Structure 1
């Protein structure tokens, strides 16, 4: 009798032990996934002098599920795109202003590929450095025929901080080719040259969302036949080709 009672008690204890171990296993029967943590943020918390074009990177303790990261990384007051590569998520802002403190946050709910979750929000802040003004480059002067299609070229314009640019070409001389607007817009606006000989002058300025460049000028000379034109200038040379770059001194 004592033997049967002891055997029954041992069976109950074994059943309880098996039941307890199954409750702590992971989805596949193994241990539960480790919680996800934030290992590093760039710019670091409290960083100053950060370039306004710098991306914001978050490194996690292991590779993350990209679907859970979208919308989970934010910089207050800024829009941007998020990309994921392994354990690193990168927020690339459309534009950040200079001399500005930004609050960044990764919200809880980001998960690793193994299923471990970030348990709580991770917040930090950084301050950008002084915004540097962009530089406008209006491109080379042009000689075109009457009625020809003309395209301006501001592709050489740059922003030292890497921000996107807005382009404004203000026409300051010549018959209007802006349909009364007074300016053309975009990095390479196009128009039709007047039907008569004329000189068109444009001043290009570019903006980076915070400051504006100094103007840069380009001149479009409208000629009946540019290929047959001869150019004369003080200091020219009568043995030169007579082009704009190599003008003559006199005309015979």
Structure 2
């Protein structure tokens, strides 16, 4: 319903009231009271219509925050950008690192380091991270691999999902094995995704699915898949994509170099 007739009525009543000047008699006063009552009735109709219009506008889908879009575009231009994925034997402080993977802004693998732990991997851990004991038979120990890991992070701007987890595992390993602590400059992609999608608890699996780039089904999902999943999410933010409905138009450009099938099952927030 158009509010134009109501607005016209209000303007006419206001003009009529102004033209009357001050009250001249009791009869005039009664007429003024009736006219003012009618005026406020019409105003109420306008307010009701405006309230309905506001409700309609509020049903529109939220727009992605421009600040996060600009951030993602800026980060993707960094020549030293690296997106890591760290696989471990668990989540507690005693967990050992068994794989460190880093990719660049194109999805190319900068390095992919398998590390032999002090104890064999359990079937459950292998199911989660896609690494099997046979893959680690000839892998270096963490002490042997540490200098190589340090070189991977050196001079890099690191963006990773749940970066506190990565830092904690690197620091716990350094303390436990008396290795040099590793410091790097970086940002937590999960925090940015939370601000972008309005969901601080979203997992990487959920974010990848939402933008139309689901991770492979485990046990076929690897650290490389998750690292490239992070890149897909970063690219989606840069393109202002918030769901797979709009992501499908950009899947071809975003999926360059990506591996995996279209199926997905629920995973832990930190799949080791």
Answer yes or no: same fold by TM over 0.5. Answer: no
Larger Rg belongs to: 1
Q: Pick the structure with more helix per residue.
A: 2
Higher normalized contact order (CA 8 Å, seq sep 6+, divided by chain length): 2
Q: Pick the structure with more strand per residue.
A: 1
Q: What is the TM-score of this pair, normalised by structure 2?
A: 0.24
